[in-house]
Structure 1
Amino acid sequence: MQPFLLNPKNAAVVTRQKPYGSDKFVWFMLLFSIPFLLVGCIALGFLLRDVGATQALINGDDTQATITQLRIENSGDDPSYFVAYRFEAPFNGTSRSFESSHIIDQATYRSLSEGTSVAVRYDPANPEVSKLSALVNWNNVLMQLAFAVMFSLFGGLALIFFVIRPWRLTKALRSRGQMLPGQIINASAEKDGDGDWNLEIKYYFVSPYGVGITKTQSAIRNDLRNTAPPPANTPIVVMFADERNFTLL
């Protein structure tokens, strides 16, 4: 009986017409994960900047400012609200006038009026860094932290599981892999959420060290949609480098 192949493309590997593995998938996943890492790093850079500014404002001085402008920008699906104001603050031994603006939430926007006074907090060492006193807190920084961590973590996990691990497995199997016989314990197939036919195989083989190993692997096999899964005891071929690096062909 011919061995069942979980991935039909490995037929050439079994007949030794080509080595195991393809670098295309690893490169694709590398390109997929890099944008998430870059976004996470950029977000982390903005986060570090805002941490310093927020810390300075937490310890800053309060004063009264005059609201010079309230505006709404409709650049996306949701409008953005901004406030601009002017205030006096001591700097280098003299009193100077400073102007600033920043984004605010809708509730704050509706509570303000142009020409009225509002409390602002500024950094005495650099009064150009200021914000409405009521909005000086760590909430925005924590949101940025969650954003940076989420993208960095997602990109990092994608890099580990879809790039580094497959690359190490492919490298190990190419350099010292050997094909071993095995057999199917059981197999099942079902349609996944995308409508693809997912075949799952639990198999058993004996390593060159005499250790019996059981593992389950799955693959998309739309070509077997109208075919019964392979029965128990069907022969299979395992590419084996060591007890951590092996795969069902």
Structure 2
Amino acid sequence: MTGNPAQPNTLLFVAKRSHAAFVSGRAHRIGSSWIMLLIALMVLGIAGVIGYPFARGVIAYDRVLNDGISAEATVTDMRTTSGSRGNINYFVTYTYSVDGQVIEREQRVGRDVFERMSRGDEITVAYLVQDPANALLSGSYADSVQRNQDLVFLIIVAGVALIICVVLYNADAHNRRLSREGVFIDGTLVNANGKKGMLGAYNLTLTYSFVSPRGLQIQDKTRVNRPDLRFNPPTIGMPIKVRCVNDSFYRLM
């Protein structure tokens, strides 16, 4: 859908409804640092919940590796599973005795370790005295496949959370700079094209034009989600406001 044909219009068009308060003077800045901080804390909290099991696995492995007590164990079962990408996962189940109590544990291993084992093999494991059920293969069968996978997932979760927080910080920094250093400049809506998106979204691509404080004629595009304008697109030629810091740092309000 394209914007209505140009005609005389003095009604100011605000591309993002969240900017309306700032444009009208009812708000002293664009956006809110508190909201950005709240979102960042939520992201970190979710990352913590998702990453905790992986971090726990890495820590548990290192504790057993550094402080574990050796014990003889017997391989009781071996199995494989196929992953969604066709990869094969290998698992070994073994039993060992601690103070007369028989403990059974399954551990994911690499292919090389798996192929060197058979049911009934006598192997060596290491376990924690304070938590005997927490054990790992040791000696010639020591394997870190599960730890490495947990570490990779932990790094991915932490990395994604960090990237999101950096994006939020930069967005807030841009909002603060535009609010503090920018000036309002009058401009004109040149074109508006809408396209339906997912989950009821309506993506409106806006082309606008304005003259910068240095006298440079600038024409640019931006896209906003405006479901409310699906059947009533803005009129071409409508006046708009641009918050401008310099010729390369500005934003359609």
TM over 0.5: yes
Structure 2 counterpart of 1:65, one-letter code = A
1:22 pairs, out of 31, 34, 37, with 31
Aligned pairs for 1:9-88 within 5 A: 9-23=18-32, 25-39=35-49, 42=52, 45-46=55-56, 48-50=58-60, 52=62, 64-66=72-74, 85-86=95-96
Whether the 8 Å CA contact 2:107–2:136 is kept in 1: the answer is: no
- Cα distance in 2 for partners of 1:179, 1:188 equals 25
Q: TM-score, normalised by structure 1?
A: 0.65
- Cα distance in 2 for partners of 1:230, 1:86 equals 77
Q: Relative CO higher for 1 or 2, CA cutoff 8 Å, sep ≥ 6?
A: 2
- Cα distance in 2 for partners of 1:135, 1:202 equals 64
How many residues align? The count is: 215
1:137 pairs, out of 143, 148, 151, with 143
Find the counterpart in structure 1 of residue 3 from structure 2: none
Q: TM-score, normalised by structure 2?
A: 0.64
Find the counterpart in structure 1 of residue 252 from structure 2: 248
Answer with 191-200 or 202-211: which moved more.
202-211
- Cα distance in 1 for partners of 2:205, 2:173 equals 23
Note the residue ranges of structure 1 that are not aligned, 5 or more in a row: 70-80, 89-95, 106-115
Identify if the C-alpha distance between structure 1 residues 125 and 34 changes in structure 2 by more than 3 Å, giving closer, same or farther. closer
Find the counterpart in structure 1 of residue 243 from structure 2: 239
Identify if the C-alpha distance between structure 1 residues 120 and 241 changes in structure 2 by more than 3 Å, giving closer, same or farther. farther
Shift of 1:12: 3.6
- Cα distance in 1 for partners of 2:125, 2:193 equals 65
Calculate percent identity across the aligned residue pairs.
18
Whether the 8 Å CA contact 1:66–1:85 is kept in 2: the answer is: yes
Find the counterpart in structure 2 of residue 194 from structure 1: 199
- Cα distance in 1 for partners of 2:59, 2:232 equals 59
Whether the 8 Å CA contact 1:178–1:241 is kept in 2: the answer is: yes
Whether the 8 Å CA contact 2:14–2:20 is kept in 1: the answer is: yes
Q: CA RMSD in A?
A: 4.0
Shift of 1:6: 0.4
Note the residue ranges of structure 2 that are not aligned, 5 or more in a row: 1-9, 78-90, 109-118
